[in-house]
Copies of this chain bind each other. A is one copy, B any other.
Amino acid sequence: MLPIIRAEILTIGDEILFGQITDTNTQWIGSQLTDIGIRPVRKTSVGDNKADILDAFAAASQRVDVIIVTGGLGPTRDDITKHTFCEYFGTELEINQEALELITAFFAKRGRAMTELNIQQAALPKNCTYIPNLWGTAPGMWFEKDNVVYVSLPGVPYEMKSLMEFEILPRLKAKFVSNIIQHKSVRTIGIGESFLAETIASWEDALPAHIKLAYLPHFGQVKLRLTGTGTDQNQLDAELAEQVALLMPYIEEWVFGYDNDELETVIGSLLVQHHATVGTAESCTGGFVANQITNVPGASQYFEGSVVSYSNEVKMNVLGVSPQTLEAFGAVSEQTAREMAEGARKVLNTTFAISTTGIAGPDGGTAEKPVGTVWIACATPGETFTQLLTLRNNRKINIELTSSYALNLLRKTILKTNLAVKG
């Protein structure tokens, strides 16, 4: 094992401090650095102010090996970050010909005129290593001084991520990281974080020191991420696979996938594999389940459509739920959920249909059926399966949780339904 390489992430811009934009960059950078074995120890945000930036550079250089700086490179306030670097390193700007050619080509390709401001984007501090930006007009920069690396990137998320992925992370790995860092994640749904931790405690306690476990919870799901550190790729892969094999018997019933699998992509693959189709009948989720399914490119292969039946009239007239059922059991009931799913399967002409009906809140709850009471169902060519959810949170969270559980009910139903598999 090598010494720990420490990093600081520095963002520049008043709009972040004032809360006018959401900063998604630093979370992403933090996870990417962690993934290659560099440890983020601090994040700092300062405004568009030279003194504050200089102060942040100096302080960071005392505590870390790598400083990743984003923002302050746009054409309108081009000077802040670059001029500050010049002052910090005691150098000056000069036009970088390679950068100028790339910027010129960028504008030519889009048929847009170049202004003097754009030309100035090719002016870089003399001591920097130029990092070409193929995704925008502000070049990346790499500096080294007194064993500290300074990286400067534009704040536009797409440009920043592309530069990190193709240029900066490979350079950082080459310079600092000789250990191999390998991840393997197991994705679960329907088991709470603390209960999960208790369930797998004996397995977790027996993990070797070079394999770390993280619990990453999100809307009824917990992602268990194993991070192995070593020097031999094959050995590490084998060790991670072995740990997952040891883990599975404890949690098999809650596992829906691995690594970057999502419920909606897992379902998509299963449906394609079984050449089956699905539709939804949604009351309390108001179209959210359909939206989740159709967020996957290519969903039209297996998704036919949905009926969002917010009113009882639509439940009866479009889905064919019987007035007697609504009268006797109410809209939020196992019987209504069942008839909604079965009705959707018919009217949308699909192999499967899932339904949701419940009280999302904040109003509409009763003593018998409080806010968070939700019935979901999944209709198949044979049986229809139902499930009661007892949620507690606010409207938006109830809708997202219901969607996750409904997709999971569909997943489990596909797995136990006897369908032909595409040859």
Contacts and interface: CB of A to CB of B under 8 A. Distances in A.
Interface residues on A, range: 35 or more
Interface in A304-362: 304-311, 313-314, 317-318, 347-349, 361-362
Contacts of A314: 279, 304-305, 348-349
A32 interface: yes
A31 B24 CA distance: 16
Given A44-B42, A45-B42, A304-B310, A22 B17 contact: no
A287 B295 contact: no
Contact of A19 (B32, B287, B362): B32
Contacts of A304: 310-311, 313-314
B362 A297 contact: yes
A363 interface: yes
Nearest to A215: B20
A216 interface: yes
Contacts of A306: 287, 306-308
A91 to B, nearest CB: 26
A232 to B, nearest CB: 25
A187 to B, nearest CB: 15
Contacts of A27: 16, 19, 21-23
Given A41-B47, A52-B41, A314-B348, A20 B396 contact: no
Interface in A85-126: none
A138 interface: no
Contact of A305 (B305, B311, B395): B311
Contacts of A361: 297
B47 A31 contact: no
